[in-house]
Amino acid sequence: MFPQLNPTDATYLAGLILSVLGVLLFFALAVWMIWRRQNSPPSPPPASPVAPISKQNPPLLPYETLNPLSAEKLSERSSALQGAYRHWKSERLLVTEEGRRLFLRTGVEKSGMRYQLVASTQTQALAILLSVVMAETDPRASVQAEALFASLLAHPTHNLPELTSWKFMPDLPRSPRLDPDPHAELWVIYSMLTATKRWPGLNRFHYPELLHKRLQALNKYVETLPAASLDNLPSSGCLIKSIQPLDPGLNWSVLDQHRGFTDLTQWSDFRNEPDTSRLGLSLLQAGLLALLDHDPGVKNTMRDAHTNLIKLVDEYLQEGSIDRNFSAIAMLSCAAPALMALQEHDRSERIWSNLNCAQPDKNDGLGATLRLLALALLANQI
């Protein structure tokens, strides 16, 4: 019935049948494995997942132990800070008429028959620092910092071209050349040093030479000031400590001996200090030294001044201020690092809430910028 096969043909046919059966078996096994994977429950995640290595730059000066906020609250604050920064940038940063410089409005003054916008060295310097702080979320921050610095270079003092008039009219071709503000100049040098460390590739200007000449000119200038003028300056201890390595041979004792941090304890009541801007900016320096540099002497001074500081903060939280030169927003912002150093968490929370909801006046560029720096500290971004 079946044809007779010779041994060679029988061997070939048997091999062919086995090959076909092998392919069918392999195909069936593959189908079964796919069906099993699709119908099996998902495997649980590992107990301790390994976090990816962050490629972002670390915070400039962390202080998590002094500001023990939950990760959720820190995330909320970071979002609020970024929103406030975007609003500040869109509403406050103005372009000069020639289009390559930026400035912050701090007021309006009449010049001749027209009113002109006014900017100040102090606010420009803090805006540069804020640009550095927000660099992680602003890809244009380095360009912004250089444009702000360009406005300072464009308005030198009447007798020291290395320094900037303490205030100037950015849109006026011949803005009056005034004296420099020594405290603000220290902020300029510190902010640009921080910027060049954050962005080593900055090249719009030759920064090492410019900053070195600026520092030397400022040192010579403060040595010529009478004692009364030095007494009117805010404390600058944190700034001097930071910029000293730029030229270790320069002596800044003439500033320290007139405005030491012991002044904070000598005031029987902070509210009796007539110059609120000097008080606020001195308080900011003390707070930064205590919070970020962990200076033991300043920490002890802050503890001694604790009662008066709380009175000051509570008064500004409740009543605000009518001082147009230094607003309640500016004062509370300056007090924030001191409260954090003293671990006054409840009042730090109140300052956050106050500043987060605050709407600085259109001419309060200083208060608006200090506000964002304080929010960055309170949001653990610095």
Taking only the tens place, the pLDDT of each residue in 224-252 is: 999 889 988 998 989 999 999 999 999 99
For residues 163 and 213, is the Cβ–Cβ distance under 8 A?
Answer: no
pLDDT interval class at 96 (50, 70, 90): very high
Mean pLDDT to the nearest integer, 116-145: 96
For residues 103 and 159, is the Cβ–Cβ distance under 8 A?
Answer: no
pLDDT interval class at 299 (50, 70, 90): confident
Question: To which H or E segment does residue 305 belong?
Answer: none
Stretch among 75-84, 270-279, 352-361 having the lowest mean pLDDT: 270-279
For residues 125 and 370, is the Cβ–Cβ distance under 8 A?
Answer: no
- In order, the DSSP letters of 153-210 are HTSB-SS-TTSB-SEE-TT-TT-------HHHHHHHHHHHHHHHHH-TT--SS-HHHH
pLDDT interval class at 219 (50, 70, 90): very high
Mean pLDDT to the nearest integer, 352-365: 95
Q: Could you tell me what percent of the chain has a pLDDT over 70?
A: 75
Q: Tell me 56's DSSP state.
A: S
Taking only the tens place, the pLDDT of each residue in 25-76 is: 655 666 556 656 555 544 444 433 333 333 343 343 344 444 446 676 778 8
CA–CA distance, 74 with 81 (Å, rounded to integer)? 10
> Does 84 or 97 have the greater pLDDT score?
84
How high is the pLDDT of residue 97?
86
Q: Tell me 65's DSSP state.
A: G
- Token pair listed for 142: 């380095």
How high is the pLDDT of residue 240?
93
- Token pair listed for 149: 């610095």
How high is the pLDDT of residue 300?
85
Q: pTM of the predicted model, to two decimals?
A: 0.80
What is the average pLDDT value for the chain, to the nearest integer? 83
Taking only the tens place, the pLDDT of each residue in 136-187 is: 999 999 999 999 999 999 999 989 999 999 999 998 888 999 999 999 999 9
How high is the pLDDT of residue 7?
57
CA–CA distance, 99 with 364 (Å, rounded to integer)? 23
How high is the pLDDT of residue 190?
97
For residues 332 and 374, is the Cβ–Cβ distance under 8 A?
Answer: yes
How high is the pLDDT of residue 45?
40
Q: Which of 62-66, 170-174, 338-342, 377-381 has the highest mean pLDDT?
A: 338-342
Mean pLDDT to the nearest integer, 338-345: 92
> Does 19 or 104 have the greater pLDDT score?
104
Mean pLDDT to the nearest integer, 256-278: 62
CB contact set of 362 (below 8 Å; sequence gap of 6+): 105
How high is the pLDDT of residue 263?
53
Question: To which H or E segment does residue 55 belong?
Answer: none
How high is the pLDDT of residue 19?
60
How high is the pLDDT of residue 266?
55
- In order, the DSSP letters of 107-144 are EEEEETTEEEEEEEHHHHHHHHHHHHHTGGG-TTHHHH
For residues 116 and 359, is the Cβ–Cβ distance under 8 A?
Answer: no
Mean pLDDT to the nearest integer, 240-265: 77
Q: Which of 104-118, 132-146, 293-307 has the highest mean pLDDT?
A: 132-146
How high is the pLDDT of residue 167?
96
Fold annotation for 93-234: Glycosyltransferase (1.50.10)
